[in-house]
Structure 1
Amino acid sequence: MRELALACGLVLSIVLQAPAAAKTPLATGTGGAVATISEQASHAALAILNKGGNAIDAAVAAAATLGVTDPFSCGIGGGGFMLIYLAKDKRVITIDHRETAPASATPAVFQSDGKPVDYDTAIASGAAVGVPGTVRGWHEALTRYGSMDFRQVLAPAIDVATRGFTVTDNFHHLTAGNEKKFQLFAPTSALYLRNGKALPAGTLVRNPGMAKAYREIAAGGVKAFYEGPIARAIVDTVNRPPVAAGVRVAPGRMTLADLANYEARIRRPLHSTYRGYDIYGMPLPSSGGATVAHALNILEGYDLKAMPRAQAEHLYIEASRLAFADRNAYLADPEYVDAPLAGLLSKEFAAQRRKLVKQRAASSVAAAGDPYIYQDPSVPLRPHVHRLHPESAHTTHLAVSDKDGNVVAYTFTIESWGGSGIVVPGYGFLLNNELTDFDFSGPHPNVPEAGKRPRSSMAPTIALKDGKPAFSIGSPGGSTIITTVLQTIVNYVDFGMSMDQALDAPRISERNGAATAIEPGFPGSPQARALEGFGHRWEAAPEEIGAANALVFNPDGTVTAVSEGKRHGVGSALVQKRGH
């Protein structure tokens, strides 16, 4: 195993060291601010801010470092959505660098003998890998809106990859949960397992392969990833997965042209309003912005503040159910599907959907509405109810602002914990399994097609009030991203919680299923029993939902960075000190 590791350029040494100091999930200051789930990533962003970089520069630095310390959630083998508020221009822009299907993709890519293949089998394969968009997205962000280059912003991540980082209890837990998948691939086993088992907490892991990849990008720019040796390594890995002895997985059909032709999209943000706030989110192919806005439109018809908490939370659950019914029926890549967004986001459609909500009783699985009549009544449509397609709950979100008032809310991913499970030999990063975000069979707007971007739930959000940033919020969690962002906004705006309280509150995730997802410790609580009185039922296996990060821009001119107080091993919030 050691010989293999050295040959792949993955691991130089593994030693034990003392645990790192505790992270601080809440901080307030007068300059720039950052919130991530990684201490190293937050410090990377702060270092860039302290060197004069802006929020865009700092966000890329944090993201690159997260690719080292939290490689099972994100990295250059994946893609994402970046939402940016530009203070000088007083406008919000978005950078869509979602992965795309290779040119070889067809709607039957995940079918065998006309039937959908097993979901978990599909994930751990070359066939699941979409064309990565992260590096192209970083390039667009830096060249259009940043003040630094790759050489400067990748330096902190290169240092962490070279010097190493300590395996935390959470990192160990995630690795242990992926042992079976990681054992399938030789370079992944060499990097993240020891004798086939997860590295114990306290282990120092160095990743010289990832440091090499970052150095090549720092020196050669975006072309180093999409046209150089890294591109050839990606294609070879996808088409001939480096499996362990005796293992067979489905290969992909990616080409160098797929990588060279990849483009990020600069899209107009999705804009809605809620109780005096201007809410900006991601447009399609992310369904996050639209679904959050649709649910908020439904909730805006209620005076939630004046209600008993249980009734208000009941209405939150029912609004989410209806919004997901419409999301599942209509939303997909706008370059392939003409989704009825104008109707879906109209206040009139929300009012019509609101009539279906029972004030004192939970409903069952909801049918989709017909938003077309609120934008083009001539379109005949009788939508079908679609089950919620499996969507991995493993992503990461970061929030950054700078002293000039620029704000970045950035969610990016490699899809499942550990993505496809395939590390690119010699370069130390995991490849995504993003193509499994497509529906495996149709007819459906979200089936695989050549060049198409799979529908996402990522929902980085920036809220303005009176034309100025008020707060930002985002989370990982697959389709639970939408409910985490929605519930946090309701907690903060309607229930009057501080943002740290809003993040730490127990999460309830209704996505139009037969039962509602909840977190450990929730069943049997007074809150749960009160909602059960409305007829709500809970999923049998509670799991942690999301690991959100937020910023709050206070009336006195200070900014508060907020990360998780308990989830994902506690988050990291930092602010600049005076003088920067």
Structure 2
Amino acid sequence: MTDEKKDPEKIPENEDLLFGGQVKPYEKSQKAVGCCRCTKKKLLILAVVLGMLLLYGIGLAIGLAVGLSRDEEEKPQKPEDVLEPVGAVVSDHEACSDIGRDILARYGTAVDAAIATLICNGVRTPHSMGIGGGCFMLVYDRHDKQTMYIDGRETSPKLMTELEYKNMTDYDVNARRIAVPGELKAYKEAHTRYGRLPWKDLFEPTIQMIRAGFPLSGATADALKYLVSINNDQYLTKFPGLCEIFCANTTTGEPKKAGDTILWPKLADTLQGVADEGVDYIYDSPLTNTIVDEIRKEGGILDISDFIMKYEVKTGNALEVYLDNSTLYTMDGATGGPIVALILNILKRYEWLDMNTLEGEVDFYHKLIEAMKFSDADRMRLGDPDFDNTTWILEKMRSEEYADILRTKITEKTHEKPYYTDATGSFGDLMGTSQVSVLSPYGDAVSVTSTVNWYFGSMIVSNATGIIWNNEMDDFDTDPARSTSVNRIEPGKRPRSSMAPCIVVDNQDNVKLVTGGAGGSKIATSVAQLIAKTLLLGMPLNDAVDSKRLHHTLKDNQLSLEKGFPEEIKRLLTEERGHRSSYSSSNIFSVIESILVDDKGALLAYADPRKLSGKASYMYTTVKQKS
């Protein structure tokens, strides 16, 4: 976005912008409020008109009364003006989507709306994300026709080594798993480049929400119940800071239920501090020393320099994939972006059978699975490019020529691991992840995937700030058998991720699709399925999101199917194509939040129903209908 677009005094050409069916006021625009100021001249004209009506009103009124009934029957009805969506925000919680929409209605940018929504999401879905974690943000600037990424991924502390990290069981939660958070730094970088509204304004709605107390969401309540169910009834008492906020009984560890009021005053104070003083309130202030001391007392090894000097946001041009009449933009580097790119590059050249037939569906899913298997083989070679030379694998994964070669290797039946590569590793699901998708009336778009990794990250809540810290160190390869992995632990390194925010733009530089998802190692494959179904197969957005998903990794050469995936397709994939498959035990396979603009320019935003608290909030304009 240009400086002209960032000017808060600049009012967009279309001032008749509405939200939620109501007119949204704007300080500089009386037209947006729907009122007018009468001048003396207008009052004089009005007086003359009223005088004429007084002179002729009686006769005219009688005439109208006589013919009123007949005229009303014969007169054609004037078409009513309609509301047409021109912008949207989709997130994992309805209150947060509404906050983002209201920011758009104040003529905030897509980035403004995304940041305000994310701040809220960290409060209403704190098991998934928050300012103690990290994110990947993709920003499309319609004016400059450019897409860039902002990498706010957490980094390994400078004192962290594989030796420090050893002897930790797979599901052990402790402070040594806390990586240096990058969430707030990414927000600040995005706002500096693309924001219009004051930084402080983006925090205010959520701060007010916390101070008033808010109901616990169903998704967070389910996460609490899950943690208790896989451990023991008193599990939450091991984490007094967390239990203080989310336990109905801090002695027994009984978690609060959906709808119970949450009070989180320390986080409200922290957000107020960040709103007033900027991100240095966390990263470079007297409070920083307190934060580090707290983490060290819990057994962590973060150092003051990890906050003050070490953490830096990365930015760069997005990875591009050319589809028919459109371009896909996604994250580059050790993310899920190259996986999505390779899968779609493989699939885009096929001419698909009729998807209304069983044969067509089976053929699509078989080819999709094979593309997943090839991409998973290459995924294990991805690592932080600042530490390992992974440029060659990234160039290969986004290469159309390479995809063409792989496409020739897809046969009517699947194969064992050696057919694809010698890759043997995979990494687990990131249970705590959240997606925000935004499309502004100006044509700009933002897709952000944010995470604290597992549910509630490290489970450790800062006593001084109320921040829930991530456990992102778990995303490194710590298995001694993979000691040569490019994803091994090194100080200051970013771990590999599956997160893959995506934006698709048509040949006229207009946003066509904004999407991304949560679901751990299933993120990239789920996002690729959504894009393939909507843009390659032409499936309506809601049908594509609602349809059951599948996922494949080479670790055990096993196909995982979402509960409810059609049994007949599963049978044919097994019996005719040779896939070993089973239904996932997880209640939530993955969650995709999307906004689609169809070929006629109609906008549809859709929140994945798998996360019940999600919502799409629209911004509207009034469309005048012809008489």
Can you list the C-alpha shifts for 1:436-492, whole angstroms capped at 9, x where unaligned?
100004110000101000011110001111032111110011110011101111111
Residue equivalent to 2:387:
336
1:427 aligns with 2:465: yes
Can you list the C-alpha shifts for 1:236-273, whole angstroms capped at 9, x where unaligned?
232112xxxxxxxxx22111110112110112111112
Partner of 1:385: helix, strand, or coil?
coil
Give the fraction of aligned pairs with identical amino acids, expressed as a percent: 29
Give 1:172-211 correspondences, 5 Å limit: 172-179=221-228, 180=231, 182-195=236-249, 196-211=253-268
Residue equivalent to 2:589:
545
Choose from 67, 75, 78 the match for 2:133. 78
Contact 2:561 2:583 in 1 (8 A): no
Following superposition, the deviation at residue 111 of structure 1 comes to 1.8
Q: Per chain length, whose mean CA-contact separation is higher, i.e. which structure has more relative contact order (CA < 8 Å, sep 6+)?
A: 1
Give 1:348-363 correspondences, 5 Å limit: 348-359=401-412, 361-363=413-415
Residue equivalent to 1:364:
416
Choose from 304, 317, 330 the match for 2:369. 317
Residue equivalent to 2:562:
519
Q: 451-460 or 178-187: which moved more?
A: 178-187
Following superposition, the deviation at residue 213 of structure 1 comes to 0.9
TM-score (norm 2): 0.80
1:293 aligns with 2:349: no
Give 1:474-553 correspondences, 5 Å limit: 474-512=516-554, 513-522=556-565, 525-533=567-575, 534-539=577-582, 541-543=584-586, 544-553=588-597
Following superposition, the deviation at residue 81 of structure 1 comes to 0.4
Question: Which structure has the larger Rg over C-alpha atoms?
Answer: 2
| Amino acid corresponding to residue 284 of structure 1 in structure 2 | G
Contact 1:399 1:473 in 2 (8 A): yes
Can you list the C-alpha shifts for 1:118-156, whole angstroms capped at 9, x where unaligned?
1101xx111101101011110011111111232100011
CA–CA distance in structure 2, aligned partners of residues 111 and 297 of structure 1: 39
Q: 84-93 or 101-110: which moved more?
A: 101-110
Choose from 129, 136, 147 the match for 1:92. 147
Q: Which runs of 5+ in 2 are unaligned?
A: 1-82
Aligned pair count?
519
Residues 325/183 of structure 1: CA separation in 2 closer, same or farther (3 Å cut): farther
Can you list the C-alpha shifts for 1:301-337, whole angstroms capped at 9, x where unaligned?
4222457111111110111011111111x10111011
Residue equivalent to 2:40:
none
Contact 1:326 1:368 in 2 (8 A): no
Give 1:400-415 correspondences, 5 Å limit: 400-415=438-453
Residues 368/237 of structure 1: CA separation in 2 closer, same or farther (3 Å cut): farther
1:216 aligns with 2:273: yes
Choose from 511, 514, 519 the match for 1:472. 514
Residue equivalent to 1:32:
87
Can you list the C-alpha shifts for 1:322-363, whole angstroms capped at 9, x where unaligned?
1111111x101110111121123222222222233222x222
| Amino acid corresponding to residue 385 of structure 1 in structure 2 | A
Following superposition, the deviation at residue 105 of structure 1 comes to 1.5
CA–CA distance in structure 2, aligned partners of residues 320 and 572 of structure 1: 29
Choose from 95, 108, 120 the match for 2:171. 120
Contact 1:96 1:265 in 2 (8 A): yes
Q: 78-87 or 296-305: which moved more?
A: 296-305
Residue equivalent to 1:9:
none
Contact 2:498 2:520 in 1 (8 A): yes
Residue equivalent to 2:43:
none
Which structure features the higher share of helix residues?
Answer: 2
Residue equivalent to 1:372:
none
Following superposition, the deviation at residue 409 of structure 1 comes to 0.4
| Amino acid corresponding to residue 334 of structure 1 in structure 2 | P
Can you list the C-alpha shifts for 1:410-440, whole angstroms capped at 9, x where unaligned?
1011011110111111322210000110000
| Amino acid corresponding to residue 397 of structure 2 in structure 1 | L
| Amino acid corresponding to residue 185 of structure 1 in structure 2 | F
Can you list the C-alpha shifts for 1:373-397, whole angstroms capped at 9, x where unaligned?
xxxxxxxxxxx42311224232000
Contact 2:383 2:486 in 1 (8 A): yes
Residues 161/405 of structure 1: CA separation in 2 closer, same or farther (3 Å cut): same
CA–CA distance in structure 1, aligned partners of residues 560 and 270 of structure 2: 39
CA–CA distance in structure 1, aligned partners of residues 550 and 156 of structure 2: 32
CA–CA distance in structure 1, aligned partners of residues 163 and 348 of structure 2: 41
| Amino acid corresponding to residue 452 of structure 1 in structure 2 | K
Residue equivalent to 2:69:
none
| Amino acid corresponding to residue 517 of structure 1 in structure 2 | S
CA–CA distance in structure 2, aligned partners of residues 150 and 417 of structure 1: 29
Residue equivalent to 1:256:
304
Residue equivalent to 1:5:
none
CA–CA distance in structure 2, aligned partners of residues 366 and 154 of structure 1: 51
Residues 155/532 of structure 1: CA separation in 2 closer, same or farther (3 Å cut): same
Residue equivalent to 1:436:
474
1:463 aligns with 2:504: yes
Following superposition, the deviation at residue 30 of structure 1 comes to 3.2
Choose from 232, 239, 256 the match for 2:296. 239
Runs of 4+ in 1 over 4 A off after TM superposition: 366-369
Partner of 2:137: helix, strand, or coil?
strand
Can you list the C-alpha shifts for 1:481-518, whole angstroms capped at 9, x where unaligned?
01110111111123221111111100111122421222
| Amino acid corresponding to residue 282 of structure 1 in structure 2 | M
Q: 333-342 or 168-177: which moved more?
A: 168-177
CA–CA distance in structure 1, aligned partners of residues 560 and 582 of structure 2: 5
CA–CA distance in structure 2, aligned partners of residues 282 and 305 of structure 1: 31
Residues 200/507 of structure 1: CA separation in 2 closer, same or farther (3 Å cut): same
Contact 1:42 1:574 in 2 (8 A): yes
| Amino acid corresponding to residue 479 of structure 1 in structure 2 | S
CA–CA distance in structure 2, aligned partners of residues 326 and 363 of structure 1: 16
Q: Which runs of 5+ in 1 are unaligned?
A: 1-27, 242-250, 370-383
CA–CA distance in structure 2, aligned partners of residues 536 and 497 of structure 1: 25
Following superposition, the deviation at residue 230 of structure 1 comes to 4.1
Following superposition, the deviation at residue 94 of structure 1 comes to 0.8
Can you list the C-alpha shifts for 1:521-545, whole angstroms capped at 9, x where unaligned?
23x6223223223222224543221
| Amino acid corresponding to residue 610 of structure 2 in structure 1 | R
CA–CA distance in structure 1, aligned partners of residues 214 and 170 of structure 2: 32
